[in-house]
Amino acid sequence: MADSCSLTLLDESMFPEKGGFIAGRWCAKLADSTNTSCCLPCPAGDWRYERVARIIDDRDAVGWTGIITLTVTVLMLLTFAVLPVQTTARHYFTTTALVGFSLMSLAFVVPFRSHPQQCYNAITPNNAMSRANCFVTSAILFTGIWILLLNSKSILTEIQRAQPASYQVGKICLLSSAHRSTATSWAPILAVAIISMLLQLLTVLYCVQVVTRPVISERLFERNRRSHASLGSNGSNGEGESDGDDRRLTIASDLRRALSMQRASSRIRKLLLIQWRPIGMVVLVAVYAAYVTSTSLRVGIAADYPADTTRQWLACMASAASSSAAGQEGEEICEGPASRIRGNQNEILAALFMIGSSGLWATILSFRSSMIGAWATVIEINRRLITARIKDTVARLSFRIRHLMQRAGSYSHADADEYAAEGEGEARV
Q: What is the pLDDT of residues 308-343, one digit of tens each?
A: 888 888 888 777 766 554 444 555 667 777 777 777
Q: What is the mean pLDDT of the chain?
A: 75
Best CA proximity match to 128, nearest among 153, 107, 144: 107
Q: Which range has the worst mean pLDDT, 190-199, 225-234, 275-284, 285-294?
A: 225-234
State the pLDDT at residue 243.
53
List all residues 6 or more positions away from 49 whose beta carbon is below 8 Å from its beta carbon. 169, 170, 342, 345, 348
Name the pLDDT band for 156 (thresholds 50, 70, 90): very low
- Within 83-113, residue ranges assigned H as helices are 85-88, 92-109
Q: What residues have CB less than 8 Å from 47, skipping those under 6 apart?
A: 26, 40, 41, 317, 331, 338
State mean pLDDT over 69-98. Answer: 86
Give the model's confidence band at 6: pLDDT under 50 very low, under 70 low, under 90 confident, else very high: confident
Burial class (CB in 10 A: 0-12, 13-18, 19+), 237: exposed
Rounded-to-integer distance, Cα 28 and Cα 19, Å: 19
Phi, psi of 393 (to 5 degrees): -65, -45
Helix 132-148 and helix 92-109: axis angle, to 10°?
A: 160
- pLDDT at 192 exceeding the cut of 80: no
Instruction: Enumerate the H helices of 83-170 as residue ranges.
Output: 85-88, 92-109, 132-148, 155-162
DSSP state of 43: P
% of the chain exceeding 70 in pLDDT: 72
Residue 184's pLDDT is: 53
Mean pLDDT of the region 266-278: 76
Read off the pLDDT of each residue in 156-171 and give the average, rounded to a whole number: 62
Which of 57-61, 116-120, 147-151 bottoms out in mean pLDDT, i.e. has the lowest?
147-151
Domain extents in the chain = 2-187+291-368, 198-274, 369-429
CB 100 within 8 A of CB 189: no
Residues contacting 420, CB < 8 A, separation 6+: none
pLDDT score of 258 more than 80? no
* pLDDT tens digits for range 13-67: 889 888 888 888 888 887 765 778 888 888 888 888 878 878 877 778 888 888 9
Measured CA to CA in angstroms, residue 11 lies from 4, 27, 140 at distances of: 8, 9, 35
The pLDDT confidence band at residue 352, using thresholds 50, 70 and 90, is confident
| Strand-pair category, 10-11 with 37-39 | antiparallel
Q: How far apart are CA 210 and CA 416, in angstroms?
A: 96
Enumerate helices (H) and strands (E) in the chain, giving the number of each: 16, 5
Q: Could you tell me the CA-to-CA distances from 9 to 14, 166, 307, 341 in Å, in that order? A: 12, 21, 17, 17
Q: Is the pLDDT of residue 260 over 50?
A: yes
- Render the burial of 280-291: b for 16+ CB within 10 Å, e for the rest: bbbbbbbebbee
